[in-house]
Amino acid sequence: MLIGAFAVAHTPQLLIRPETEDRDLVLRVHAAMARVKGRLQAMKPDAIAIVAGDHVEAFFLDAVPALAVYVGRECAGTFGPYRYRLDIHEDLARAVVEQGIERGFDLLYTQDARLDYAFYVPLHFVMPEPAIPIVPLHVNVYLPPQPTPARCHTWGVALGEILRARPERVALIASGGMSHFPGTDRYDSPEFEYDRGVLEALREGRGRELARVTGEELDKRGNVELRTWITLLGAVGDARAEVYCYEPSWHHGNAVVEWPLP
């Protein structure tokens, strides 16, 4: 069963705040993430499937998968002083790989990959208590050639069908976004108006329009990570988004969103 769907920013400065970051803004994003945590507590999911773009941590240039599933008993990673280790819902993860392959998606799977903060930052703030197992799903966002938005959407449609047919109660989270240009000369000038247009379309249930955006457009708009959202949009169909927050910092459009599901 697919019982919930959310998108959550994963800016590292939300977890470890340098003096360059507006503390009040960071706390407002934390408050929006706390709402997600409250929703998850109430929904009582058996697992969280989280779609994130590994930030060249599990997968460096020795192997660059377009789509991957972490299958195993647990996954672990570090970020600065944080050491994290999370249980994987192995049955569900394995079902996603097997049924995904069966449906024609050439998924990579791993039983031993480092879990990046792109997964960890949202879970640090939204994981229910006691913690529940996860299924980490990777979409390549940073190393060209990335999967096209259309492919991400198609994968998301299949993922949604797979999850809906399962006995477990599953919440789906897309990690990342919105506009930002880390490491480039555009770092201090994200495309906030583009983000606001995307959020308006999502509020109106027009998420499938994002499947038609090109990879070039996402790069130009600082939104390569929207591939994780577009994957989720394939799974939620025409559900209308509720935007918990949109907080543009000097370098990043921080959004927290829920798609309430019937």
Partner 1 sequence: MSEAAHYRFPPSQAYPLNRCLFALKSDRAFAERFLADAHAATEEMGLTEGERADLRHMDRDALVARGAHPYLVFMAGLRLKMLAEPATLEYF
Report whether 137 contacts 96 (CB < 8 A). Answer: yes
- Under the criterion CB under 8 A, does residue 12 sit at the interface with partner 1? yes
Least gap, CB of 184 to partner 1 (angstroms)? 5
For partner 1, give the closer residue by CB, 100 or 136. 136
For partner 1, the closer of residues 19 and 129 by Cβ is 19
Binding region for partner 1 (CB under 8 A) out of 15-23, 151-159, 165-173, 241-249: 15-23
Is position 188 an interface residue for partner 1 (rule: CB under 8 A)? no
CB of 82 to partner 1, least distance (A): 8
Considering only residues 99 to 118 of the shown chain, the ones binding partner 1 according to CB under 8 A are 114
**Binding window for partner 1 (CB under 8 A); candidates: 12-20, 35-43, 128-136, 241-249:** 12-20
Give one DSSP letter per residue of 183-223, joined into a string.
TSTTTT---HHHHHHHHHHHHTT-GGGGGGS-HHHHHHTT-
Q: What DSSP string runs through 117-140?
A: HHHHHHHHHH--SS---EEEEEE-
CA 176 vs CA 134, 243, 260: distances in Å: 17, 15, 19
CB of 187 to partner 1, least distance (A): 8
Question: What does each C-alpha distance from 68 to 207, 221, 254 come to in angstroms?
Answer: 23, 25, 25
The residue whose two tokens read 């509020």 is 203
Give me the 203-242 binding string for partner 1, x by CB under 8 A, dash otherwise: ------------xx--xx-x-x------------------
Instruction: Give min distance, CB of 219 to partner 1, in A.
Output: 5
Identify the residue among 2, 8, 14, 159 touching partner 1 (CB under 8 A): 14
- Is the Cβ–Cβ distance between 140 and 53 less than 8 Å? yes
Q: Which of 181, 194, 229, 259 binds partner 1 (CB under 8 A)?
A: 181
Residue 130 lies near partner 1 (rule: CB under 8 A): no
For residue 55, state whether it binds partner 1 (rule: CB under 8 A): yes
User: Which among 196, 252, 194, 256 has a CA at the least distance from the CA of 17?
Assistant: 252
Residue with tokens 């409250």: 38
Report d(CA 216, CA 146) in Å as an integer. Answer: 10
Q: Which residues between 132 and 171 bind partner 1 (CB under 8 A)? A: 142-146
Q: Cβ distance 116 to 52 under 8 Å?
A: yes
3-state secondary structure of 171: strand
Size of the site for partner 1 (CB under 8 A): 38
Tell which one of 46, 57, 74, 90 touches partner 1 (CB under 8 A): 57
Which residues in this chain contact partner 1 in the complex, by CB under 8 A? 12, 14-19, 23, 26, 30, 55-57, 60-61, 78, 80-81, 114, 124, 142-146, 181-187, 215-216, 219-220, 222, 224
